[in-house]
């Protein structure tokens, strides 16, 4: 039995998220169908993070076990030939039998892209959030500092979502501005459902002057989703990287 780790990238615009759903096309369905064609066996994959409808990935990680002897160098080109152009394999490796894409992860890094310009651009509509009004970037940076550390993030959890514990640890929030684009990176040990998009929506309200930076701490302490800002749209969000202990990868 072999345990195979695969890094995927995909444009999520055409899919109803990662996870299989009846009557809806998803990334998981196409990937597992491709694996079935390649390995001639039914394969169920484990995934590092279940991206929502319209969300993209630069470094999604999956793993699966197989009895097949298909060589590792042959898997990437073969699997890509069974996948559509908007879903592609970046890297394949054989890993320890104990490795699990989700449970072995130490942290996840997400990127959110805002297109900040008075007029929309049709070429960026599926890959960024168009915001036509000016944003006070320094206020957004100041507000983000209140989110660093281990907290109860109930105020940024989608309402009605079941969760064992709302406590998460955000390791960093970094802003980059280049021309008309604002790019925000958020890294945490893990994320609640729609937590990143709810944080981004709140930070944009800070940038608009509707919420002051210190109020973000009050929102966090409230542990109430209605206290925070709106949910940012999915098309600006990218799963960038999953970090693992090197020992969990050693075969």
**Which amino acids are annotated catalytic?**
52
- Give the burial class of 29: count Cβ atoms within 10 A of its Cβ; 0-12 exposed, 13-18 middle, 19 or more buried: middle
Closest among 190, 58, 169 to 113, alpha carbons compared: 58
Q: Which stretches does DSSP call E strand in 29-86?
A: 46-47, 56-66
Helix, strand, or coil (residue 237): strand
Answer yes or no: are the C-beta atoms of 32 and 45 closer than 8 Å: yes
Backbone angles phi, psi at 196, to 5 degrees: -65, -45
Q: CB neighbours (10 Å) of residue 63?
A: 19
Residue whose tokens read 């302490």:
221
């Amino acid at each position: 039995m072999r345990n195979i780790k695969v890094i995927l990238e995909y444009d999520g615009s055409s899919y109803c998220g990662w996870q299989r759903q009846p009557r809806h096309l998803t990334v998981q369905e196409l990937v597992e169908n491709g694996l079935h064609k390649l390995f001639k066996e039914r394969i169920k994959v484990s995934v590092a993070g279940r991206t929502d409808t319209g969300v993209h990935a630069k470094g999604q990680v999956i793993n699966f076990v197989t009895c097949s002897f298909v060589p590792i160098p042959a898997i990437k080109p073969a699997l890509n030939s069974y996948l559509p152009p908007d879903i592609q394999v970046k890297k394949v490796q054989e890993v320890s039998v104990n490795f699990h894409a989700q449970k072995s992860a130490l942290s996840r890094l997400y990127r959110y892209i805002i297109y900040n310009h008075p007029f929309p651009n049709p070429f960026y509509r599926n890959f960024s959030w168009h915001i036509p009004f000016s944003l006070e970037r320094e206020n957004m940076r100041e507000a983000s500092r209140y989110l660093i550390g281990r907290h109860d993030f109930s105020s940024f959890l989608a309402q009605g979502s079941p969760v064992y514990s709302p406590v998460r640890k955000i390791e960093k929030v970094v802003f980059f501005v280049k021309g008309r684009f604002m790019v925000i990176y958020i890294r945490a040990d893990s994320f609640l459902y729609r937590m990143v998009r709810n944080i981004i929506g709140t930070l944009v309200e800070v940038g608009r002057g509707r919420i002051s930076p210190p109020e973000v701490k009050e929102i966090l302490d409230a542990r109430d989703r209605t206290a925070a800002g709106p949910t940012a749209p999915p098309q600006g969000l990218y799963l960038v990287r999953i970090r693992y202990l090197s020992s969990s990868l050693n075969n």
